[in-house]
Structures are given as C-alpha cells and as structure tokens.
Amino acid sequence: MKQQPATAADSFAPFQQALAQGWGKALESFQSLGTGAGAGAAAWDVPRFSMGSEKLQALQQQYVDEATQLWQQGFAAKAGADKRFAGEAWRSNPVSAFSAAIYLLNARTLMGMADAVETDEKTRSRLRFAVEQWMAASAPSNYLAFNAEAQKKALDTQGESIARGIQNLLHDVKQGHVSMTDESAFEVGRNVGTTEGAVVFENDLFQLLEYKPLTAKVHERPLLLVPPCINKFYILDLQPENSLIRYAVEQGHRTFVVSWRNPDASMAQYTWDQYIEDAAIRAIHVVQEISGQDKKGGKIDTLGFCVGGTILSTALAVLAARGEQPAASVTLLTTLLDFTDTGVLDIFIDESFVQLREMQMAKGGMLQGNELASTFSFLRPNDLVWNYVVGNYLKGESPPPFDLLYWNSDATNLPGPMYCWYLRNTYHENKLAEPGALTVAGEKVDLRSIDAPVYIYGSREDHIVPIGGAYASTQLLAGKKRFVMGASGHIAGVINPPAKKKRSHWIREDGKLPKTQAEWLAGATEHPGSWWTDWSNWLKTHAGKQIPAPKAYGKGSAYKATEPAPGRYVKAKA
C-alpha cells in the first residue's frame, strides 16, 4: 500500500496534542488558586470562581494559535521582546530561548484567564495580583539553570561571578534586604539631604528644620513642608540639582520641613491623634511663631506629600474646627483624601485583614519598616525585586550608586496604633471623606472647612496614589483649586526639576474641575517639562510681600538652632 505524503497539518498534530495537554495543566494550576490549594494559594481566602465555557474556549484557541505561531516563527524573536530575555545569550541558546518563549506564552494565558474570571471586581484584582506575583517569581531568568546570560558570565569569568553572587547574597541576608544600590556610596547629610539649614524645634515625634535663605529677600509667609512619615523627608532633598526643598528656597521662600522620627519601641503606643496634634499642628504653630505669623490673621503656606498631605489636611481641618485658619495656601502632592480609588493597594484591605492588624498592634506595637518596604517593592516585582536577585546573585554584579534607590531602602517604622487607625478609617472605611464622620484630637473633621486655595498634583502612572484618587481631592475641598497632572510615577513624577527638561505636565486652562479625572483630562493641555515652575508661579501669589531674609535661624531662645540640618532623627535606621 502506497504511503500518503505527510501534510502540514499532520506535522503539527503531535505538537497540538502537547499544547492541549499543556492547556489542561495550566487550567488545573489556575483553578487551584480559586480553591486556595496548591503553590499559588494567596495569603487571603479567595472565593471559588468560574469562567464561562465560551471564554475558556476562546482562551484555549488563542493559546494554541499563539503556540503554533511561535513554533513556526522561532522562539528567540518572541522572547526578545521582553527585556528580561533580550540579551544575545538568550537568542543563541535554544534551551533558554525555548523556556523564555513558553514562559511568556503561559504568562499571557494565565493573565487572560484571570481577566476572564466571573466574580466581583475585588476578587478578580486579587487573583490577577496573585498570578502576577507567581509568574514574576517563576520566570526562567530568575534561575541559574535557565538564565543564559548568567551561565555565559559564569563561563567567561571562570566562576568568579558565581562567587561574587554568593558574597552578595550573604551580604544582603546580613543587612536584611536586597541591595538595590551601593548603599556605602551615600550618607545622609554628606551627599544626600545636604541643603544648608538647622533644627529649630523638636519633640518625640519630629524635628523642625529651617533652611538658610539663598536670596536677599524672602516672602513674608513661610512655607512648611510635611513629607510622608512612612519614608524619610530627604526624598525632597536628594541632590542640589533635584531638590524641591532647595528649589523652594531659591524661589525666595523661607522654608521649613518636618523631619519625622523613625519610631522605636518607646513609641509603640503613639496614635494618629498624636501625629496630628503633637506633630502637624505643633509644626504649624511653631512656624507661625518663628515667622511672626502667629499674630491675628497671620498665615503660612503649606505643602503635604503623600501621607504627609493626608496628615496636613486632617490637621488643618482640626484647626478649622477650633476657629483657626493658618494656611494661606495648601499644596497636595500625590495625596489621598478620598480613598475610593486606592489602586492595587486595595487588594490587601478588607475587614479580616484590618482586624488581624488591630489584634496584632492596635493597642501597642510596631509595623516594621522592612515589611512596608517589601510590600511596596512587590507592587512592581520585576523591577524592584527579581531584577536585583538576578543581577546581584546570579550574575554577581554590584548595583551602581543611585540616590533615589538608597532613599527607597532607608526604611521607617510606624507605631501600631497610629497605623491601625489610618488603615481602618481611610483605606478601609474611607471616613476622612465624610464630613464629621471622624473625631481627631477631640474635633469633628470636615475637610470642606479648610479655607485656603489648594494646588493639587497627581502623577499619571502612580501605582500608590492613582491619578483618579489624587484628582478626587478636587471634589472634597472647598477652596479655589488648581489641578495639575505630571508624567511618570509616584516619585519620579514629583521629583522632576525644571533644569532636567524631562517629562510633561497637563493643565486645564479654563480652570474647570469636572467630576472625574478623565473628564478633566479631555479639556487639558500638555506642556513639556516640569510642573515645578507652574507651582512656583502659583505659590508666589499666596506668599505675601517680600521682606529682608532673616540672618539667623529660629527665633530667640525658644526656637534656637540646636544642630545642623538634616538633623539626627533622619539618620536613625529602622
């Protein structure tokens, strides 16, 4: 009997059978996430879920089609589109190229399955996050057995790269976190946080820094900056060329900054009320007294960054309830006041999680800085975790000096009671946005009672304070408002000095503030470069007349300079 020639379909039949088996394995693994079983089980209890048969069939067909196309066109080209597998060593090693291409196909398919789940939005977001973490951790680039670049480097260096990798691993185990930069290259006060100034007041919660004027005259109304207490203030003063603090001083503002104390065991009982009363409000009053603005009607300009903006706004609302309106202006940078849209952080927050935290530390305790740092890093696992695992340990490389990543690794603790109050009343129950729903420092909090113009800035790609969440403050506050959107993320969008001529910002010239950020953006205009110049022009209109710059720090014996900036609080390690 004459044998029939093989067709193209025949040649792909075994391959398609293997794909069908692979699809079955992927589906089985994916379903284990929904039942809480298997290696992919998340830290929370994910309800069971289902997917429609049509969606499953479409995903299966897409999986087979993409795999067939991959087989026909070659693995290396497909994998090379991902920067983790873009090197020549990956393309020239068939085994590595195959593992990378199949990994990417499986990752796309699993993410597609997560999006197709029929369940509530929060469960779907949690499932997507779990799949992202799982896929990021299982990338073949993370393992020496599959990482072609690490293998080539080991051969080229005759094993020296592996020896250095082991040394790097031991070093990081000892210090308690993965090295993102050469931390030995930096020292706070020596080459980061170097703008000249002095400590003019301190208590158990913060030191107040005043900076030396760089102009012959200053505006009569000083500027007080309240940074986030979950990080250190010198993100606003990294280097002279990218320091927002120095920029403000150069623009003729008498500038003061809150430097939070890095909490230790002695602060395990501190509450949110104390952070408002004894820190933010105390700082406002001290700046008023030092500048002479404590007289009737005297005001100061204020700025809050991230959680610092939430603290500042709460403090101003408490003061308003007491009949005080100390702010001539309020600037809020990537700040949440309405916690409806909290982005990816929302997946962590529910009643069970909040209750667990309250049991652990609501009556005393400490949220450790390394836990906070790890949480934020795993929001972007490929960039902030596995990238350094591969470079430091598999390739034996030392990360280059980078001031921003040094700051990012300089962790801070939080007192348990303060953290638990913040977690429940903002992220979970969103009570700060409800007038009178919260009592802080003995006063009902109503953000609408703050009588001051407000400059609100949000970053377009911010994954910590989503742009919609930043914009929501425009609908809460009663004063005249200006909203500006910058490019990039939570930090890079904010720390964007004009001299760099980088990125863009968006402004709506008609000043309208519709209900949603999307509506606002439809009428906004893009402008090249930094938003700092727009903010500076706005701030000058609220800073008062110019007066001779003070020749000494502080005021009299009550507020005298005690030590040079940046002070000792910022140097304390978690």
Is 306 considered catalytic here? yes
**Alpha helix positions (H), 391-524:** 403-409, 416-422, 467-471, 517-522
Beta strand 481-486 with 454-459: parallel, antiparallel or unpaired? Answer: parallel
- Strands (DSSP E) along 460-551, which ranges? 481-486, 504-507, 525-528, 546-548
Judge whether 222 and 256 are in contact, CB under 8 Å: yes
Q: Are 458 and 467 in contact (CB under 8 A)?
A: yes
Q: Please state at what angle helix 53-73 crosses helix 94-116, rounded to 10 degrees.
A: 160
Name every residue whose Cβ is closer than 8 Å to that of residue 182 and which is 6 or more positions away in sequence. Answer: 398, 399, 400, 401
What's phi and psi for 119, nearest 5 deg?
Answer: -165, -175
**Residue 32 · residue 40 · CB < 8 Å:** yes
* 8-state DSSP, 118: B
Would you call 354 helix, strand, or coil by DSSP? Answer: helix
Strand-strand pairing, 217-219 and 546-548: antiparallel
Q: Rounded distance, CA 570 to CA 313, Å?
A: 23
Q: Which of 104, 110, 306, 491 is catalytic?
A: 306
Helix and strand element counts for the chain (H, E): 21, 17
DSSP of 243-266, one letter per residue? -HHHHHHHTT--EEEEEE----GG
Contact 336, 342 (CB under 8 A): yes
Torsion over CA: 353, 277, 307, 457 (sign): positive
Contact call for residues 98 and 78 (beta carbons, < 8 A): no
**Angstrom distance (rounded) from CA 501 to CA 504:** 9
Taking alpha carbons only, the member of 544, 564, 545 closest to residue 553 is 564
Q: Tell me which residue has tokens 């394995």.
A: 25
Residues with a known catalytic role:
306
